[in-house]
Structure 1
Amino acid sequence: MPADRAGGVQSLERAFDLLERVADAGGEVGLSELSASSGLPLPTIHRLMRTLVDCGYVRQQPNRRYALGPRLIRLGESASRLLGAWARPHLAELVETTGETANMALLDGDEAVYVAQVPSRHSMRMFTEVGRRVLPHSTGVGKALLAQVPPERARALLARTGMPAATEHTITDPDVLLAELERVRERGYAVDDNEQEAGVRCLAVAVPGAPTAAAISISGPAARVTEAATDRIVPVLHDVARRLARALTT
């Protein structure tokens, strides 16, 4: 390893890796778990975590485990706004091509949060406020996001949220939803068929390789977003998602 990578740069890489591992563990983790997953020795992890605690990016809980700290909130909010700004031109293209409202959402904790939207030009259209948080089991973007996480983590999330019914069509059984998530992975897109709002149909796909779990969608009246329209819209969603992923990672 070059000398300049053996100092500060390597420490930064390790610190950010530990932050991501804490996030992947659900936001709270012990030193021994971090050591097992990262392969780093305990003294190194302890030194890095103490530095992150001192900076406010990590906090130590009364049970001695480490959790993500409050200073990350400001960074996350700023990053979400930037993601929304980068996504809007791509969402505008979706609206131009499909005629329906386009959204982008991220998985934040147990919820899907909308970070960008471009509305349809139709007088009858769907509108979701940027910043709105929804439980993922009843939305297209939520299903696309949940399909990106391991089934056991998805099941644990569903147990925490309780899967309340938004309409009579909402899936409220975790086994049924987990089977639906497997179909999402197989066919490459998610559907919200009157599950979040009666009369509304949504199609969503994951943004492949995004720096955080992200999904884009179109939504509109079920009379327009039909099965026939699905065959036309899904390839457009995938194409836009791929180009958005490149924009977010280059």
Structure 2
Amino acid sequence: MGVQSIERAFGLLEAVAGQGQMSLSQLAAACQLPLPTIHRLARTMVDLGYLRQEPNRQYTLGPRVLLFGESSSKMLNNVALPHLRALVEEIGETANLAMRDGDQVAYIAQAPGRHAMRMFTEVGRRVLPHCTAVGKVLLAPMNDDAVRLILRRTGMPRHTEHTLVQPEEYVAHLARVRELGYAVDEGEQEVGVRCVAVAVPHPLAHLAISLSGPAPRMSDELLTRALPLLRRSAQTLAGELR
């Protein structure tokens, strides 16, 4: 039998991690707890440093959560690398694992492609979600208003002529991503680079796997061949993380 207060505290942290920022009323609804109970939990988590209250009164993850970051990233790297390397063996292009980190996306593991000319995304690099395939699949499950809030906080800087820079255009684009179950970066982050990504179907991890390479090699034919392999890898990884 679990300890109720610990279960509630971790449920609160997971809810905030999933949304980035949440009000007390949103937390109460997500955790299915009375508002006074959520208020006491949130204040305790703020005092301990696991939550932080922003000027707009909403709650975000606090700095003490970073204590878990390095060890969890190493664990994910070790678990994911065999799957990423298997994708490279099958497809030849660089395979990446990315994770939603607040309003950004962080690359946490990579297997380099086999070609002399290949794409390198530095592990640890953080990017905005509006211009990357991994960002799109990570934001796609969210409701449109939550996506708009993230875009308002981050902005939508233009990196190339293909970058989506209008919030409503991006929201409409995510509807198509949800329908397809994958996303493509058509040179939106970097000129001449094409990337395809799928989300890891895990309710808490907020991970995505992608393949990236020069646009001429990342043809529609290659994407058609790669997508079943990406989905299989994502499904297997999700099972290992449960």
Cα distance, 1:94 vs. partner?
0.8
Q: Any gaps of 5 or more consecutive residues in structure 1?
A: none
SS of the residue corresponding to residue 102 of structure 1 reads: strand
2:134 corresponding residue in structure 1: 141
TM-score by length of 2: 0.90
- The separation in 1 between residues aligned to 2:70 and 2:21, in whole angstroms, is 17
2:4 corresponding residue in structure 1: 10
Moved more, 40-49 or 132-141: 40-49
Aligned residues: 242
Identity rate of aligned residues, in percent? 57
Q: 1:73 to 1:240 in 2, by over 3 A?
A: same
SS of the residue corresponding to residue 27 of structure 1 reads: coil
SS of the residue corresponding to residue 95 of structure 2 reads: strand
Matching of residues 1-250 of structure 1 within 5 Å? 4-5=1-2, 9-30=3-24, 32-59=25-52, 66-249=59-242
- The separation in 2 between residues aligned to 1:179 and 1:199, in whole angstroms, is 24
Paired letter, 1:18: L
Q: 1:152 to 1:14 in 2, by over 3 A?
A: same
Structure 1 moving runs of 4+ over 2 Å: 20-30, 32-56, 58-69
Paired letter, 1:91: L
Q: Any gaps of 5 or more consecutive residues in structure 2?
A: none
Cα distance, 1:145 vs. partner?
1.0
Cα distance, 1:27 vs. partner?
3.3
For the pair shown, which has the larger CA radius of gyration, 1 or 2? 1
TM-score by length of 1: 0.88
Cα distance, 1:130 vs. partner?
0.5
- The separation in 2 between residues aligned to 1:168 and 1:29, in whole angstroms, is 37
Moved more, 56-65 or 215-224: 56-65
Q: 1:57 to 1:93 in 2, by over 3 A?
A: same
SS of the residue corresponding to residue 105 of structure 2 reads: strand
Moved more, 41-50 or 71-80: 41-50
- The separation in 2 between residues aligned to 1:210 and 1:132, in whole angstroms, is 24
